[in-house]
Amino acid sequence: KQEVTQIPAALSVPEGENLVLNCSFTDSAIYNLQWFRQDPGKGLTSLLLIQSSQREQTSGRLNASLDKSSGRSTLYIAASQPGDSATYLCAVEGTNAGKSTFGDGTTLTVKP
């Protein structure tokens, strides 16, 4: 059974700092890993999707890497801004087609 863990559960940083969020998964037989952000009480916004054959994806100030063999992914946020404050979730889709397993998320607070 796939398990996804995100560390830390919460993170508070001053504006402008670069930061890294971590995601680990127990079964390396995955088809993709996706990073989302969720604002309080709202739906999820897709940030980046990394297919199993890829090592990283970039979008603006965000960079996500994937190391399947070690069961890890990191989301790097450069020059953080207060608007980045949200809960960040990672999800992996494994061999069970269509079923994504989510981590519990990291709640990020960026202080002005």
Partner 1 sequence: EAGVTQSPTHLIKTRGQQATLRCSPISGHTSVYWYQQALGLGLQFLLWYDEGEERNRGNFPPRFSGRQFPNYSSELNVNALELEDSALYLCASSLWDRGADTQYFGPGTRLTVL
Q: Which letter does DSSP use for residue 83 in this model?
A: G
Binding residue for partner 1, selected from 23, 66, 89, 92, defined by CB under 8 A: 89
Structure tokens at 33: 């890993």
List, in order, residues 6 or more apart from 19 with CB less than 8 Å away. Answer: 11, 13, 76, 77, 80, 108
Binding flag, residue 112, partner 1 (CB under 8 A): no
Interaction residues for partner 1, span 27-56 (CB under 8 A) = 31-32, 34, 36, 41-46, 49, 51-52
**Which segment (7-15, 19-27, 65-73, 95-103) binds partner 1 by CB under 8 A?**
95-103
